[in-house]
């Protein structure tokens, strides 16, 4: 494979999380087993086959590679991709792709789908995605991927297979859909978004923005610019029920060693074993 951009990889609970994220540089992620990606600030060659992307907001480091991605898929004779993004950005993005079409003289074909907080999209029988509100300096959202299963309703769980079959044949629905939050991706946001979306704390895997961590960085200012500080996470430590918390989007002001050392010192025990720094 052609190695055109950095990609980190982590396996967890049967999923492969791949991506890269540094503030103001580029953010792009994908989970091949779910056949979807988040943000497209860069487009690794290897990610081209993943045709469904959920974009959190239109900052360049989260979206700049969209035209290249759309054009590449067409060149490779793949299906046009489906791109979800805040509904406020649809018109401008259509215009942007048209301009690139003129510049590049290659057709830009993709399905753009505008989203707003509260929306839900069925991806397959097993998975759906919901949209939640985030708090950034431009229109922005976060996404939760849900796993769906049909389970026997509690009142039928003690019955035998034959009894259940008879009830089913009589026309009664014996099972109900159960869904669990699998992956939550916050994009860029101030921590107010955490408190407004309790499912974020319950997702098996949480990929969360953590741009700043030094105590001398003023939190009010960081929040005003729609970002999260380590102390915001520490303040809410008991709320995170996630099995894995990936901290991403660190500021370029910090060296990786500095981030690792500082966070291993300051993360409380209740979080430490579950937090993975995306470095």
Smallest distance from Zn ion to CB 61, Å: 5
Binding residue for Zn ion (CB under 5 A) from 22, 30, 59, 73? 59
C-beta atoms surrounding 199 within 10 Å: 13
**Binding segment toward Zn ion, per CB under 5 A, in 53-61, 108-116, 160-168, 173-181:** 53-61
| Comparison of 145 and 248: residue with beta carbon closer to Zn ion | 248
Which 8-state DSSP code applies to residue 45?
A: G
Give dist(CA 248, CA 155) in Å, integer: 43
Matching residue, tokens 């707003």: 116
Residue 66 corresponds to which tokens in the numbers above?
């969209």
Candidate ranges 6-14, 47-55, 97-105, 183-191; the one touching Zn ion (CB under 5 A): 183-191
Please answer whether residues 26 and 258 qualify as being in contact, where contact means their C-beta atoms are separated by less than 8 angstroms: no
Q: Considering only residues 18, 135, 188, 232, which one is a binding residue for Zn ion as defined by CB under 5 A?
A: 188
- Total residues contacting Zn ion by CB under 5 A comes to 2
Q: Is 64 exposed, middle or buried (0-12, 13-18, 19+ CB in 10 A)?
A: middle
Judged by beta carbon, residue 55 or residue 110, the one nearer Zn ion is 55
Sign of CA dihedral 242, 243, 249, 255: positive
Nearer to Zn ion, 26 or 242 (CB): 26
Alpha helices in 122-274 (DSSP H): 161-169, 192-196, 219-224, 230-235, 256-266, 269-272
CB of 186 to Zn ion, least distance (A): 11
CB of 77 to Zn ion, least distance (A): 32
Give the nearest distance from C-beta 128 to Zn ion in angstroms: 26
By CB under 5 A, which span of 84-92, 116-124, 181-189, 199-207 interacts with Zn ion?
181-189
Q: Which residues bind Zn ion (CB under 5 A)?
A: 59, 188
């Amino acid at each position: 494979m052609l190695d055109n951009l950095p990609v980190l990889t982590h396996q967890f609970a049967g999923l492969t999380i791949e991506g890269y994220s540094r503030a103001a540089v580029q953010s792009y992620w994908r989970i091949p087993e779910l056949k979807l990606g988040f943000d497209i600030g860069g487009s690794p060659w290897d990610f081209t086959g993943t045709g469904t992307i959920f974009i959190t907001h239109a900052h360049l480091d989260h979206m700049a590679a969209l035209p290249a991605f759309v054009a590449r898929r067409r060149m490779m004779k793949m299906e046009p991709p489906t791109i979800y993004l805040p509904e406020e950005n649809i018109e401008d993005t259509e215009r942007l792709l048209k301009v690139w079409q003129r510049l590049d003289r290659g057709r830009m074909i993709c399905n753009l789908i505008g989203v707003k907080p509260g929306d839900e999209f069925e991806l397959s029988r097993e998975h759906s995605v919901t949209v939640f509100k985030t708090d950034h300096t431009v229109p922005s959202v976060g996404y939760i991927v849900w796993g769906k299963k049909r389970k026997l309703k509690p009142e039928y769980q003690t019955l035998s297979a034959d009894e259940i079959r008879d009830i089913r044949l009589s026309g009664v629905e014996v099972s109900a859909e159960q869904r669990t939050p699998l992956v939550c991706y916050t994009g860029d946001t101030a921590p107010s978004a955490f408190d407004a979306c309790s499912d974020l704390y319950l997702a098996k895997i949480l990929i969360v923005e953590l741009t700043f961590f030094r105590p001398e960085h003023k939190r009010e200012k960081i929040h005003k610019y729609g970002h999260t500080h380590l102390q915001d996470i520490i303040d809410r430590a008991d709320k995170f029920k996630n099995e894995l918390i990936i901290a991403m989007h660190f500021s370029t002001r910090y060296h990786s060693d500095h981030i690792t050392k500082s966070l291993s010192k300051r993360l409380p025990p209740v979080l430490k074993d579950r937090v993975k720094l995306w470095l």
